[in-house]
Amino acid sequence: MAQEDLFKKLVAHCKEYGYVFQSSEIYDGLSAVYDYGQYGVELKNNIKKYWWDSMVLLHENVVGLDSAIFMHPTIWKASGHVDAFNDPLIDNKDSKKRYRADVLIEDQLAKYEAKIDKEVAKAQKRFGDAFDEKQFRETNPRVLANQKKYDDLHERFAKALNDNDLKELKQIIEDEGIVCPVSGSRNWTDVRQFNLMFSTEMGSTSDGSSKIYLRPETAQGIFVNYMNVQKSGRMKIPFGIAQIGKAFRNEIVARQFIFRMREFEQMELQFFVRPGTELDWFEKWKTIRMKWHQALGFGEENYRFHEHEKLAHYANAAVDVEYKFPFGFKEVEGIHSRTDFDLAQHEKYSGKKIRYFDPEINESYVPYVVETSIGVDRMFLQVISAAYCEEELEKDSRVVLKLPPVLAPVKLAVMPLVKKDRLPEKAREIIDKLKFDFNCKYDEKDSIGKRYRRQDAVGTPFCVTVDHQTTEDNTVTIRYRDSMEQERVTIAGLGKIIGEKVSMRKLFEKL
Ligand code: ATP
């Protein structure tokens, strides 16, 4: 199936099975804002728990924080967001559609990459086992021609971004012959900067009110609390502060479902270190974060690091963790070495000392920061795209969400074979025993086959069926979602079987 079709089906599936709804749908929706339904919220909570516990529980020197969304407006001046949190935008005069100039060029780069991959895949098919991919990539004329186009464009693009050269960005779009996907024309406006922060007024009277911003990242709430946490927790460097919370960005183009939203949630760690050690810590956090992703078992080949074309104004090293979505490799998480930029700026703008006295070297300094920043929603999309599966079976087919059991919204469905003979009561007894440890669902409607399909579509890893034999010997059948195998087990043993498979501890032991 074409990846585009797959993605459309995935979006429809999320709606049909209560994972994600368009915000304000009955009023025709609000663009790039989404609501999470009954299963979506559970999956989202499980993702957040996996992240939070892996940070705060497993690292003795990481503590949590929950700072407010509204903050003093000077914070955003100090952080550089008022002046520099911009995206370069460009309009197509025929379709009147707006695009991010950098994204148009990134898509063009991805096209060259796709052409190379296609050549490689074709050759692989032709030569079979004898295929030497490295040699092919280094010698095939078509691959080399496309690689050169890619490298030249990449170099020009990175330079234009780093020089903040908007004219050159437009020139690249023209030279590459990039057309508007809607009108098909090359009739572009000039490239302009667009600030992504939402603002609102705080205070009730017009002269007494002040302009404040909805935070575009959670990080600044951590920086301005650095001294509070360090002092009250008597934290010793190196240490980290973790936070999960909403962020808001007035994205120019909202695309690809929950990949790019105007209201979203971030999970951020700011890790404070001694100056000069930041690049070592940057490497350490890269390794830790990649392990966290790969522990979920979606295939190592689907992840890669991507170096930034342009470093943000605050960073001296930056890398993205990319996942292979149905629409290509895209960023899920950013890892940045933010130097002492933020704390030094807040020191300057607030007039308060933000220093750490390091007893080991007998020196006082502004700490350096390594940040890991991941979007909850993007992680959600990553998990759900990896899990979505259409399977042809012997007699029919099924759609199954192969969610890691530890993240699945519902862990088990308990089903009486028929709605009589005390089987429903027995099923409820099982739920009453297990509901303290696992999210259980009672399901008695339709045939057993239909019920299994429904639970497969939701991603429930275990179905427990109560039949007449259950009332005699207290055994049930447990059916496993992925293999569809069934086994007869005792009711007393259910908790252990399920507990082992959905244990977050097992996941943590892999980290
Ligand atoms: P992009 O280049 O995609 O705009 P970014 O580099 O600006 O992203 P960061 O500022 O590094 O993103 O934000 C950290 C993380 O927050 C991203 O890796 C992503 O997971 C998430 N994120 C950022 N913007 C959005 C958004 N508009 N919608 C959903 N998640 C987002």
* Residue 206 pLDDT > 80: no
Tell me: do 126 and 183 sit in the same domain. Answer: yes
Q: Is residue 209 part of a domain?
A: yes
Of 162, 195, 228, the domain-final residue: 195
pLDDT at 403: 98
Tell me: do 279 and 241 sit in the same domain. Answer: yes
pLDDT at 36: 98
pLDDT at 394: 86
Roughly how many angstroms between the first and final C-alpha of the chain, as a whole number? 34
Q: What percent of the chain has pLDDT over 70?
A: 99
Q: Binding-site residues, please?
A: 100, 217, 249-251, 259-268, 331-332, 371-378
What confidence tier does 334 reach under pLDDT thresholds 50, 70, 90?
very high
* Residue 387 pLDDT > 90: yes
Residue with CA closest to ligand 1 atom 18: 333
Q: What percent of the chain has pLDDT over 90?
A: 87
What confidence tier does 2 reach under pLDDT thresholds 50, 70, 90?
confident
Mutate to test the pocket of ligand 1, among 47, 252, 260, 292 (most ligand atoms within 8 A of CB): 260
Q: Binding-site residues for ATP, please?
A: 249-251, 259-264, 331-332, 375-378
Q: Binding-site residues for substrate, please?
A: 100, 217, 264-268, 371-375
* Residue 309 pLDDT > 90: no
* Residue 255 pLDDT > 80: no
Q: What is the mean pLDDT of residues 90-112?
A: 93
The DSSP code sequence of 428-487 is HHHHHHHTTTS-EEE--SS-HHHHHHHHHHHT-SEEEEE-HHHHHHSEEEEEETTT--EE
* Residue 256 pLDDT > 90: no
What confidence tier does 207 reach under pLDDT thresholds 50, 70, 90?
low
Residue with CA closest to ligand 1 atom 9: 334
Cα 445 to averaged position of ligand 1 atoms, centre (Å): 42
Contact between 302 and 314 (Cβ < 8 Å): no
pLDDT at 204: 67
Atom of ligand 1 nearest to the CA of 373: 14
Residue with CA closest to ligand 1 atom 20: 375
Contact between 476 and 466 (Cβ < 8 Å): yes
Q: What is the CATH number of the domain that holds 151?
A: 3.30.40.230
- Rounded-to-integer distance, Cα 500 and Cα 342, Å: 43
Cα 216 to averaged position of ligand 1 atoms, centre (Å): 10
The DSSP code sequence of 53-114 is IIIIIT-TTEEEE---SB--THHHHHTTHHHH-EEEEEEBTTT--EEEHHHHHHHHHHHHHH
Atom of ligand 1 nearest to the CA of 249: 27
Tell me: do 61 and 145 sit in the same domain. Answer: no
- Rounded-to-integer distance, Cα 366 and Cα 369, Å: 10
Residue with CA closest to ligand 1 atom 8: 331
Pocket of ligand 1 (CB under 6 A): 217, 249, 251, 260-261, 264, 266, 331-334, 373-375, 377-378
What confidence tier does 4 reach under pLDDT thresholds 50, 70, 90?
confident
* Residue 350 pLDDT > 70: yes
Tell me: do 265 and 362 sit in the same domain. Answer: yes
pLDDT at 128: 86
- 486 Cβ contact partners less than 8 Å away, ≥ 6 residues apart: 477, 478, 479, 480
What confidence tier does 355 reach under pLDDT thresholds 50, 70, 90?
very high
pLDDT at 1: 64
* Residue 146 pLDDT > 80: yes
Residue with CA closest to ligand 1 atom 24: 260
Cα 435 to averaged position of ligand 1 atoms, centre (Å): 36
pLDDT at 209: 66
Cα 259 to averaged position of ligand 1 atoms, centre (Å): 9
pLDDT at 208: 61
| pLDDT tens for each residue of 336-345 | 999 999 999 9
* Residue 422 pLDDT > 70: yes
pLDDT at 44: 98
pLDDT at 92: 94
Q: Which domain holds residue 155?
A: 86-195
Cα 502 to averaged position of ligand 1 atoms, centre (Å): 29
pLDDT at 127: 87
- Rounded-to-integer distance, Cα 101 and Cα 91, Å: 9
Q: What is the CATH number of the domain that holds 428?
A: 3.40.50.800
Tell me: do 418 and 388 sit in the same domain. Answer: no
Q: What is the mean pLDDT of residues 43-66?
A: 98
pLDDT at 164: 86
Cα 261 to averaged position of ligand 1 atoms, centre (Å): 9
Of 340, 359, 392, the domain-final residue: 392
Of 195, 219, 248, the domain-final residue: 195
Q: Considering the chain, what is the average pLDDT of its residues?
A: 94
pLDDT at 210: 85
Tell me: do 210 and 346 sit in the same domain. Answer: yes
What does the radius of gyration of the chain's CA atoms come to, in whole angstroms? 26
Q: What is the CATH number of the domain that holds 255?
A: 3.30.930.10
Mutate to test the pocket of ligand 1, among 266, 311, 372 (most ligand atoms within 8 A of CB): 266
